Amino acid sequence: MAQVVYSTRLAQLCAATGVETVFIPEQLWNTRLSEAFADAQGNIATADGITEINFQVVPTGTADGAVMAAAGYRHAGGPPAAVVLDASQDFLTTLDKIGQAVRDKLSMVIILVEPDEQFNGVNANWASLVTGLGAIAIPAGEAENASQAMVDVIEGLNKQLPSVLIIKPENLDAEITDEAEPEFAAPRTGAVPQASQVVRAAKSLAQARWPLVIAGRGARHAKSALVDLAKTTGALLATSAGAHGLFEEQDFNIGVLGPISTPTTAELARNADVIVSFGCALDDWTTRDGKLIGPNALLIQVDTSPWAVGRFTPVSQSLIADAQAVATSLDLEINKLLAEPKVGYRTQETVEQLTTKYWNSRPIPEHQLREDTVDPRAFLNRLEEVLPEQRTVIADQSAQAGYATSYLRVLDHRGYMFFPSGAVVAGMGASIAREDRMIVVVTDESGFMDALADFRTAVANLQRGALVVFQQEAPVMEMARYYGLPVHEVTSLDQLHEDMFTSGVVVLAVQQQ
């Protein structure tokens, strides 16, 4: 093959995996790798055929910001993005963000430039550090092995995990003259459920009177199969917070399970006699400390990991397999047992109950409202009325932001994200992936201030958005104005109107006492 510099070859191979967007922190701008992505050109063979290399290189303020932007981009429906990091510059601070991506099953390519043997006087095993997070570590080895390393990256992406390619800095300028031919492992199929377990679970569902199907983060890819199964069995549909919005358009969707569930959602879930959970941990948050599961309910848990089954909640049956494979198998088996689809929970009475499944349908008790402050529930309820329908809602762990999940509706599971931190810069990534949707970030002054290092680049890349900041002090308004953003200090719900969100980015500073 013609001689090519290693860094250029890495960029070409990233394009071959489907990467279109690259996030690079400020300290790595104008370096060999950033230039390689910016200057990459030509055609490359991908899974979809021959395509032109045309990267969108997005600068971020920090390494944390680069990972969170890639996470938001991926969560919103973009293809896996690439992130360039240097192990000697702030990489350790990104570990919790990479851990978040692992938890949320957000695949991305992280190119990690390895420092010298000793880092701050310590011999670090970077591959073990990455593996300990649950991500896929791929030591790139010698320059000639670039293609083989990228094959390993693709295997990691197929597992819906961040793939960290660890490269040696001395290889970046090396010329590749004789690239080794990569070896491909035999393709693996998804986990297939055991027939006896399928038959047992199918009989339980066929006999159920009030069945419920719950989808978690690990079942987002299985939506169609879960909907078909619910129709056959007459089941209601629900999600954990990790899959919020997945069944939004379904008539018999009861919404999110957890502390934020409405009384209607809680009652319907608690009355279910057979519950099938797909890719959901069923932790204390989702089950509201067990209160959302009836004492006599038969609980069936489906997960690809045997360690997840029964970890938080005792179960009656389990199927260790892929959610889509199990749902499809159950639907086929139940159709053998039933002459026609069951009615189950799918009655007119249930339809009437579901008119109050959202908190927006329930008035806030007068005694809970105060005249000297804007109630976050009332504010978000009013915001729901004036926001465009096409939106992506991103909330963090701030107390008030929790109400966003309850009061702001979303179109699908890609329209809602929760990140403990980094919501603002994740919104930037989501905006790049879905220009047709307005970004709505809900945080407090602490979350806003944490984003300042990435704020300039985030604002530059946000096409249309609203940053909702619940604040007690004035710095939020001053900082936003410093970056040229329109700021509305909200002291009354009458201030909110649709014209505020027609274009650009607006900051809504909601005053709290």
77 torsion bin: left (phi>0), alpha (psi -120 to 50), beta (else):
left
pLDDT at 187: 43
Residues near 267 by beta carbon (within 8 Å), at least 6 away in sequence: 353
Range name among 5-14, 80-89, 275-284 with the lowest pLDDT average: 5-14
Q: Is residue 363 part of a domain?
A: no
Alpha-carbon dihedral 14, 15, 21, 27, rounded to 10 degrees: 40
Regarding whether 38 and 17 lie in a shared domain, the answer is yes
Enter the DSSP assignment of 141: -
Q: Is residue 187 part of a domain?
A: no
Regarding whether 91 and 62 lie in a shared domain, the answer is yes
Average pLDDT over residues 450-474: 82
pLDDT at 120: 58
Q: Is residue 48 part of a domain?
A: yes
pLDDT at 109: 94
pLDDT tier for residue 121 given thresholds of 50, 70 and 90: low
> For the chain, how far is it from start to end, CA to CA, in angstroms?
67
Residue 1 has pLDDT above 50, yes or no: no
Q: Is residue 172 part of a domain?
A: yes
Range name among 70-79, 311-320, 472-481 with the lowest pLDDT average: 472-481
pLDDT tier for residue 182 given thresholds of 50, 70 and 90: low
Residue 116 has pLDDT above 70, yes or no: no
Regarding whether 390 and 328 lie in a shared domain, the answer is no
Each residue of 9-46: pLDDT tens digit?
888 888 888 899 999 999 898 888 888 888 887 766 55
**Measured between alpha carbons, how far is 509 from 400 in angstroms, rounded to an integer?**
13
Q: What is the DSSP string of 185-245?
A: PPP-PPPPPPHHHHHHHHHHHHH-SSEEEEE-GGGGGGHHHHHHHHHHHT-EEEE-GGGTT
pLDDT at 240: 95
**Measured between alpha carbons, how far is 337 from 419 in angstroms, rounded to an integer?**
43
Each residue of 206-233: pLDDT tens digit?
999 999 999 999 999 999 999 999 999 9
pLDDT at 355: 93
| Pair of tokens at residue 168 | 């040696």
pLDDT tier for residue 145 given thresholds of 50, 70 and 90: confident
**Measured between alpha carbons, how far is 426 from 132 in angstroms, rounded to an integer?**
24
Q: Is residue 349 part of a domain?
A: yes
| Pair of tokens at residue 75 | 């969560």
**Measured between alpha carbons, how far is 146 from 452 in angstroms, rounded to an integer?**
37
| Pair of tokens at residue 433 | 């992936």
pLDDT above 70 covers a percentage of the chain that reads 92
Residue scoring higher pLDDT (159 or 316)? 316
User: CA nearest 210: which of 166, 256, 156, 273?
Assistant: 273
Average pLDDT over residues 417-440: 92
| Pair of tokens at residue 414 | 């890609």
Regarding whether 136 and 47 lie in a shared domain, the answer is yes
CATH number at residue 236: 3.40.50.1220
Q: Kindly report the average pLDDT of the chain as a whole number.
A: 87
Enter the DSSP assignment of 78: P
pLDDT at 164: 94
Regarding whether 215 and 145 lie in a shared domain, the answer is no
288 torsion bin: left (phi>0), alpha (psi -120 to 50), beta (else):
left
pLDDT tier for residue 280 given thresholds of 50, 70 and 90: very high
**Measured between alpha carbons, how far is 510 from 513 in angstroms, rounded to an integer?**
10
Range name among 32-46, 57-71, 250-264 with the lowest pLDDT average: 32-46
Return phi, psi of residue 468, to 5°: -95, 115
pLDDT at 9: 84
Regarding whether 299 and 439 lie in a shared domain, the answer is no
Regarding whether 430 and 296 lie in a shared domain, the answer is no
**CA 36 to chain CA centroid, nearest Å:** 29
CATH number at residue 373: 3.40.50.970
Regarding whether 310 and 395 lie in a shared domain, the answer is no
188 torsion bin: left (phi>0), alpha (psi -120 to 50), beta (else):
beta
Residue 188 has pLDDT above 50, yes or no: no
pLDDT above 90 covers a percentage of the chain that reads 54
pLDDT tier for residue 171 given thresholds of 50, 70 and 90: confident
Average pLDDT over residues 128-143: 87
Q: Is residue 183 part of a domain?
A: no
Residue 102 has pLDDT above 60, yes or no: yes
Instruction: Determine the 3-state secondary structure of 450 from DSSP.
Output: helix
**Measured between alpha carbons, how far is 341 from 234 in angstroms, rounded to an integer?**
7
How many CA atoms within 13 Å lie on the side-chain side of 274?
21
pLDDT at 186: 45
| Single pTM value for the model | 0.89
Regarding whether 287 and 424 lie in a shared domain, the answer is no
Average pLDDT over residues 257-280: 95
Tally of domains in the chain: 3
Residue bearing tokens 């055609």: 43
Handedness of CA 46, 66, 305, 193 (dihedral sign): negative
Residues 394, 427: contact at Cβ < 8 Å? yes
Range name among 152-161, 248-257, 283-292 with the lowest pLDDT average: 152-161
Last residue of a domain, one of 356, 382, 397: 356
The residue segments making up the domain with residue 111 are 4-176
pLDDT at 370: 73
One-letter amino acid identity for 266? A
Residues near 347 by beta carbon (within 8 Å), at least 6 away in sequence: none
Average pLDDT over residues 369-395: 89
Last residue of a domain, one of 335, 356, 377: 356
Range name among 75-84, 272-281, 304-313, 465-474 with the lowest pLDDT average: 465-474
Residue 406 has pLDDT above 80, yes or no: yes
Each residue of 467-502: pLDDT tens digit?
999 876 667 777 778 877 888 888 888 889 998 888
**Measured between alpha carbons, how far is 83 from 85 in angstroms, rounded to an integer?**
6
Give the number of other CB atoms < 10 A from CB of residue 451: 29
Regarding whether 163 and 22 lie in a shared domain, the answer is yes
Q: Is residue 350 part of a domain?
A: yes
Residue 322 has pLDDT above 80, yes or no: yes
**Measured between alpha carbons, how far is 422 from 420 in angstroms, rounded to an integer?**
7
Last residue of a domain, one of 324, 356, 388: 356
Residue 155 has pLDDT above 60, yes or no: yes
**Measured between alpha carbons, how far is 457 from 240 in angstroms, rounded to an integer?**
32
